[in-house]
Amino acid sequence: MKKANVSKRHRVIEIEWPTFGVCTPPAKASVAEFQSRLDAALEAMDRLGLTHLVVYGDREHFANMAWFTGFDPRFEEALLILGGQSDPLLVVGNECEGYLPVSPLYVAGKLRGERFQSFSLLNQPRANSRLLREIFAGEGIEEGAKVGCVGWKYFADSEHPDGAHAIDLPAYLVDTLRNLAGRENVTNATAILMHPGNGLRTFCSPAEIAYFEYTNILASEGMKRMIFGMQEGMTDHELAQLAGYNGVPLGCHMTLASGDLPGLSGPVGATLRKGTPLSTNICYWGSNICRSGWIASSARDLPSEARDYVESFAGPYFEVMSEWFGLLRIGTPGGELARLVAEKLPFDKFGIFLNAGHLIHLDEWLSSPIYPGSDIPLHSGMAMQVDVIPSSKVYASTRMEDGVVIADETLRQQIQEQFPDCFARCVKRREFMEKTLGIALPAEILPLSNIPAIVPPFFLSPNTILAMKA
């Protein structure tokens, strides 16, 4: 066995995992908050010279529409049109029409709805709705209108020769808009909501944060049950059942990859074998809890070439992530976090290819201010995913993927006043991370997960975890 590159700053401790409490689903955002989101979008439209904003949604790409309205498309496509009349118009298919009352704005009479049956699934009734062209024209989309389209991506000119006009809505929608308003007048406006520096959804409200804390609790408590219930010889289906899914919407498919299965694999009926790696995640709207380690009781169960896993891989990762938390301050350029990880966890050993952290929201990946050379400063209201993914042919991986919120003093006071139990749990998690794990946190960090930064290298000995030396 090769000589280990022994680190001097991490340690292994034995603890009983702390309990921080659970909660019931918090109240939905108020009608006034939804209205404020629409108003903020209208202000952004004015700054950009847009007369209309057309927001697309489907089952996979729902988050922008849900943020505006509280409505998420189910089987069908949907469109939200702002700027046509005093109240926005939500255009839905056959089956979603009866679902419109899920929107507080719709119930309050501040959101209009219309059925467009071509959004419905194939061979459903088609004879009782206006043509798409007529719907758009009825909202004032005509020659000279300036229409911003919101999908789920925007494009720089470096990745498309005409990024401003590269639009990721279905072609039949964009073609109709261009025929009415003119090609040059129909542009990609997704950045209004999703840009990591100034996108509207990067400034989370207390109500959003309370909901994300709720889903982080669900996911982290499920992960805890899976880790403590893991046994050699059980199937991955049996392990997944321990997550205790309760029916809240998923943010992405659950992964559970053991042995040689690829990392994004879900449960396939594989038998868990001692001495093999395992990675798994549980993701709801606003949360994604992931852990990666070995199905083992100690390093003795690992292949000989990987027995220095803690000293040479998981431990150094933990140390750098401790520094990463220290940089998670309002005003820090995202490029500083990217540089830290690139320099101290070199690619040839740790294989970190994606961003060293990103923003999370209703969708699992909103955008990220953290990339090489980024001068985008971290700001209050960001819901941050602690998602730094090492990969090694020898050591497999390790992970402390949880959710945290960056909140200035004003936002922290608002959370404490409006959701005092949520705030109290966040404070307890901070104390655990600092006093037990030795991770110094900036004042603006609120951990949302009930297993905050807990990294058990060996899943069959879950009370053995990593910490920093005092």
Q: Label residue 359 exposed, middle or buried (CB < 10 Å: 0-12, 13-18, 19+).
A: buried
Question: Are 155 and 249 part of one and the same domain?
Answer: no
In the chain, the number of structural domains is 2
Question: Are 221 and 299 part of one and the same domain?
Answer: yes
Which residues on neighbouring strands pair with residue 118, listed in sequence order? none
Q: Is residue 79 part of a domain?
A: yes
Q: How far apart are CA 91 and CA 80, in angstroms?
A: 6
- Residue 465, SS3? strand
Q: Which residues of 382-416 are buried (b: 16+ CB within 10 A; e: fewer)?
A: bbbbbbbbbbbeebbbbbbbbbbbbbeeebbebbb
The DSSP output letter for 10 is E
Question: Are 52 and 140 part of one and the same domain?
Answer: yes
Question: Are 44 and 165 part of one and the same domain?
Answer: yes
Smallest CA-to-CA distance from 256 within 267, 270, 245 is with 267
> Residue 120, Cβ neighbours under 10 Å: how many?
21
Q: What is the pTM of this model?
A: 0.96
CATH of the domain at 231: 3.90.230.10
Q: How far apart are CA 172 and CA 99, in angstroms?
A: 25
Question: Are 20 and 47 part of one and the same domain?
Answer: no
Question: Are 260 and 176 part of one and the same domain?
Answer: no
Q: How many CA atoms lie within 13 A of 419 on its CB side?
A: 25
pLDDT at 7: 52
Question: Are 150 and 254 part of one and the same domain?
Answer: no
Q: How many CA atoms lie within 13 A of 124 on its CB side?
A: 16
pLDDT at 457: 98
Q: Between these two residues, 55 and 261, which has the higher pLDDT value?
A: 55
Q: Is residue 57 part of a domain?
A: yes
Q: For 349-378, how does the pLDDT look when each residue is reduced to its tens digit (9 = 90+)?
A: 999 999 999 999 999 999 999 999 999 999
Q: How far apart are CA 209 and CA 56, in angstroms?
A: 24
Q: Between these two residues, 294 and 6, which has the higher pLDDT value?
A: 294
Q: How far apart are CA 441 and CA 426, in angstroms?
A: 12
Q: How many CA atoms lie within 13 A of 89 on its CB side?
A: 19
Alpha helix stretches (DSSP H) within 309-391: 309, 315-327, 334-344, 347-350
Q: Label residue 149 exposed, middle or buried (CB < 10 Å: 0-12, 13-18, 19+).
A: buried
Q: How far apart are CA 194 and CA 341, in angstroms?
A: 24
Among residues 163, 195, 227, the one where a domain terminates is: 195
* pLDDT score of 4 more than 70: no
Smallest CA-to-CA distance from 432 within 18, 8, 23, 3 is with 18
Q: Is residue 70 part of a domain?
A: yes
Q: For 48-77, how does the pLDDT look when each residue is reduced to its tens digit (9 = 90+)?
A: 999 999 999 999 999 999 999 999 999 999
Q: For residue 316, what are the domain limits?
A: 10-26+205-468
Q: For 298-354, how does the pLDDT look when each residue is reduced to its tens digit (9 = 90+)?
A: 999 999 999 999 999 999 999 999 999 999 999 999 999 999 999 999 999 999 999
Q: Is residue 226 part of a domain?
A: yes
Smallest CA-to-CA distance from 116 within 157, 68, 76, 160 is with 76
CATH of the domain at 139: 3.40.350.10
Q: Is residue 166 part of a domain?
A: yes
Question: Are 211 and 116 part of one and the same domain?
Answer: no
Which residues on neighbouring strands pair with residue 406, listed in sequence order? 445
Smallest CA-to-CA distance from 226 within 284, 270, 275, 291 is with 291
